Amino acid sequence: MLKKISPLLSGDLLKILCDMGHGDEIAIVDANYPAYSCKAAHYSAVPGIGSVDILKAILDIFPVDTYVQKPFQLMKVVEGDTTVPVIWEDYKKVLKAYGFNENHIGYIDRFGFYEYCDKAYCVLSSGERRLYGNIIIKKGVLQAYE
């Protein structure tokens, strides 16, 4: 155990987050996402842990890219699907607590999201069961003495 580090973040995941560089992306994906078939450089899993909790734990220690307009990406609802992704409101509340808003979020169609994740540094498979519980975060830089 470490002080000020969420126990949701395993040693392996902390190494992945630390090894990521400016512009690298991590995708937190829900339990329905085909994570094992992704071509991302790294894969990690936190089964049974909701993606909102994992998002909070990561944002506590992870610099987000402020040099791009939309450092966060969500998967758009598939055309014709009547699902209302209630998890998005939870994501937005978390992002707001870290100084971000709706303008910092982009939306990618389902298959585009899959392709995007194939190029991510890491796909992190959560235990999230709410539909459209997928979010991508672009890593930023640390300022001096941050």
Instruction: Tell me the torsion sign for CA atoms 68, 26, 133, 32.
Output: positive
Query: Residue 16: enclosing H or E segment and its boundaries?
Result: helix 11-19
Rounded to whole angstroms, the Cα distance separating 93 from 71 reads 16
Q: In what order do the strands lie in the sheet with 25-29?
A: 42-46, 122-126, 25-29, 135-138, 72-75, 105-108
Rounded to whole angstroms, the Cα distance separating 32 from 16 reads 23
Catalytic residue among 15, 19, 22, 112: 22
Q: Is 42 in the active site? A: no
Task: Name the residues annotated as catalytic.
Answer: 22
